Structure 1
């Protein structure tokens, strides 16, 4: 069994996530998200989907990017044009 690094649960179905040269052990996706998902720099929620990056800053959506970055993010959209 392996111990989750977030909640400490010793669980037989724990899994590893290999990222940026490190190995992490979790017992659930919830714990993995709480440890690894970036935080929106505007509203502070976890960026679980694709998110938006502007000048090396992460946002959960285009609205937050535009709100925080102003003119630098004016063209950011949540969807690509059809």
Structure 2
């Protein structure tokens, strides 16, 4: 069995995740997200999707980026011809 890096649970179905030269073991996707997923600079939630980036800072959505002073940020652009 393996010990989860986030919660310390000893679990027989644990898995490893490698990122930025690190490798750690987790017992659930939730524990992996707590340790690996970046946090939104504005609201603090974990960014599990693509998020948005403005001036090199990650946000979970365009709303948070706009609240932080990036008024031009949008979640999606209209397709050509819309």
Same topology, TM > 0.5: yes
Structure 1 partner of 2:21: 21
**How far apart are 1:49 and its partner, in Å?**
1.1
Query: What is the alpha-carbon distance in structure 1 between the residues aligned to residue 66 and residue 9 of structure 2?
Result: 40
C-alpha RMSD of matched pairs (Å): 1.1
Query: What is the alpha-carbon distance in structure 1 between the residues aligned to residue 37 and residue 58 of structure 2?
Result: 10
| Structure 1 residue 75 corresponds to structure 2 residue 66 | no
- 5+ long unaligned stretches in structure 2: none
**TM-score, normalised via structure 2 length:** 0.88
**How far apart are 1:80 and its partner, in Å?**
3.0
- 5+ long unaligned stretches in structure 1: none
Q: How many matched pairs?
A: 79
The answer to which structure has the higher helix fraction is: 1
Query: What is the alpha-carbon distance in structure 1 between the residues aligned to residue 59 and residue 9 of structure 2?
Result: 31
